[in-house]
Amino acid sequence: MSDIKDTMLVGSEGIKKTILHGGTGDIPRFIAGTKVTFHFRTQLCDDERTVIDDSKAVGTPMEVVLGNMFKLDIWETLLASMRIGEVAEFWCDTIHTGVYPLVSKSMRRIAEGKDPVEWQVHTCGMANMFAYHSLGYDDLDQLMKEPQPLYFVLELLRVQQPSEYSRESWALSDEERLKVVPVLHGQGNKLFKQGHYQEATQKYKEALICIKNVQTKEKAWDVPWLKLEKMANTLTLNYCQCLLRMEEYYEVIEHMTDIVNQHPGMAKAYYLRGKAHKEVWNEAEARQDFTKVLDLDPGMKKAVKKELAVLGMRMEEKNQEDKNKYKGMF
């Protein structure tokens, strides 16, 4: 049975630990990049010990990579005091729990199958979350309004060193991130060819996040930044090819407008935006984009000619439909 004195919590302000079930072996080595798998239950300090979150109820344990904790550094401290198989209850004072509602929201959204990719860029998004009045969960809104001490009951299941597992893209170093980009790009292309557009967008998106994470550290418009920008633009074009197949035309228009505003010489961006405009009956905008494509890249003449012919036919059909509709009205 582990003794509380040999935990790393001695001297930590505002934490009390009670071991409910002793673990085995020595305390594992916890370094940056170590992957820790554990179950957690979060409870209020009220008479009922109201449960806020419980990973066992969700059905999957939590996995975190040390050094990449989504702003709940205190869990790293707590876990680093535990042995494998140990179950311990930690009382943590308000100083350690203020950010918990934001973290909980992220975890709940992942459990519900929503925006895990957005969560992967958690550290950038955290500050923005403070701008919202509601987190979308009443109990978390209450905790935001009245920060209070919490109980965390943790069960340490597994500890893996960086060499022992394949890491998620958000847990990689910059060098590793850039190595993983072509792999994700290739996987995305393969899925696209197989017609799995939704899955392909996830691969492109993950590759984009890797690039953007590295790019933020470079000086804008310098050579290294421009190299990354070129890679990012290619991925965004591929991503938008998928969106076109998924009929997300307005999103394509938005992404391609961002690119041409920054890089007005990019013919393919105008071409994809023209295709999206064509699908939503924006005839003038579509024609304008296709004309721009021909100015920038006369080699695309054949493809543009085909698109303009389809646009002409579609507009004719629409005009006919409109006529018939109005005829019925008078």
What integer pLDDT is reported at residue 320 of this predicted model? 87
- Both 115 and 249 in one domain: the answer is no
What integer pLDDT is reported at residue 165 of this predicted model? 66
CA proximity to 206, closest of 225, 183, 223: 183
Cα–Cα distance between 311 and 293 in angstroms, integer?
15
- Both 106 and 194 in one domain: the answer is no
What integer pLDDT is reported at residue 117 of this predicted model? 39
Cα–Cα distance between 24 and 29 in angstroms, integer?
14
- Both 128 and 185 in one domain: the answer is no
Q: Enumerate residues 6+ apart whose C-beta is below 8 A from 199.
A: 191
- Both 29 and 154 in one domain: the answer is yes
What integer pLDDT is reported at residue 288 of this predicted model? 97
> How deeply is 117 buried, as exposed, middle or buried, from its count of CB atoms within 10 A (0-12, 13-18, 19+)?
middle
What integer pLDDT is reported at residue 126 of this predicted model? 37
Q: Within a domain: residue 297?
A: yes
- Both 142 and 275 in one domain: the answer is no
Q: At what angle do helices 223-245 and 267-279 cross, to 10 degrees?
A: 20
* Residue ranges making up the domain that contains 271: 174-305
What integer pLDDT is reported at residue 131 of this predicted model? 39
What integer pLDDT is reported at residue 218 of this predicted model? 84
- Both 66 and 156 in one domain: the answer is yes
- Both 132 and 15 in one domain: the answer is yes
What integer pLDDT is reported at residue 129 of this predicted model? 38
Residue ranges of the chain with per-residue pLDDT less than 70: 1-11, 67-71, 113-133, 165-172, 328-330
- Both 135 and 74 in one domain: the answer is yes
Domain count, the chain: 2
What integer pLDDT is reported at residue 130 of this predicted model? 41
Q: What CATH number is associated with residue 187?
A: 1.25.40.10
- Both 118 and 15 in one domain: the answer is yes
Q: Within a domain: residue 129?
A: yes
CB 240 within 8 A of CB 256: yes
Q: Within a domain: residue 316?
A: no
